[in-house]
Amino acid sequence: MITQKENKNWLVLYTRSRWEKKVDRLLKEQNIESFCPLVKTRRQWVDRAKLVDIPLFPSYLFVRIKTHEQSKIIQTSGAVNFITYCGKPAVIQDAEIERIRMITKHYPDVKTISLTGVNIGDHVTVVNGPLINKMGEIISVKGQSVVMVIKNINCALTIKTDHSRICLAE
C-alpha cells in the first residue's frame, strides 16, 4: 500500500486579543513552526517614549503544520481557531509568508489598515476633515491611499485615510 506523504501548510491562527506574541512563543516551545510578523512602533507613556514590537496583524499569526496537528494547536493557551475559507482552514502560500517576512524586515514602518467594506466603485461621503460632507466615488485603493473623484468640485483626489474618515453613501 502506497501512502502519500502529507505536506505542511501555512495556516492562519486567530488568537485572543493581545496574545499573539505569547501564543507564538508557546507554539515554538512545542517545536511548532509559527510566524508572528512584528513591526516596531513608538509608544508614548506619561513618563517616557519607547519603541515596542507589535504584531502586524492584530490577533493573527501563522503556523506551518500538517492537517492532523490542528487540534494540538487549538489546545494551546490563547489560540482561538483557524481562519477558514469555504469551510476549510485558509492556506497561505510559502511565497506569501516570505513576502511578509521581507516587508517587515525592510520596511519597519509598515502598518495594516482596515478598509473593510470600501471597494472600487463605491460612493462615499467624507465624514471629517477639510472635505467633510463631500460625496465621491472610490476609483482605487492602494494601502492607505484612496483615489476618490468628487464630482461637485470636478476633481480627483488622492488621499491617505483610514476607514473612520469615509463612509458609504446611502
Residue pLDDT, tens place only, 130-167: 667 777 777 777 666 666 766 655 555 555 565 556 77
Q: Residue holding cell 483610514?
A: 162
Handedness of CA 129, 140, 135, 114 (dihedral sign): negative
- Measure CA of the first residue to CA of the last residue in the chain; give whole Å: 62
- CATH 2.30.30 in the chain, residues? 123-168
- Of 7-11, 48-52, 136-140, the least confident: 136-140
- CATH 3.30.70.940 in the chain, residues? 9-106
Please provide the average confidence, as pLDDT, over all residues in the chain: 82
Distance in angstroms (rounded) separating the CA atoms of residues 87 and 37: 25
The fraction of the chain above a pLDDT of 90, given in percent, is 42
Alpha carbon of 92 to those of 8, 105, 112, 114, 133: distances in Å? 11, 19, 18, 20, 40
Specify the CATH number of the domain 123-168.
2.30.30
The class that CATH gives domain 9-106 is: alpha beta
pTM beyond 0.85: the answer is: no
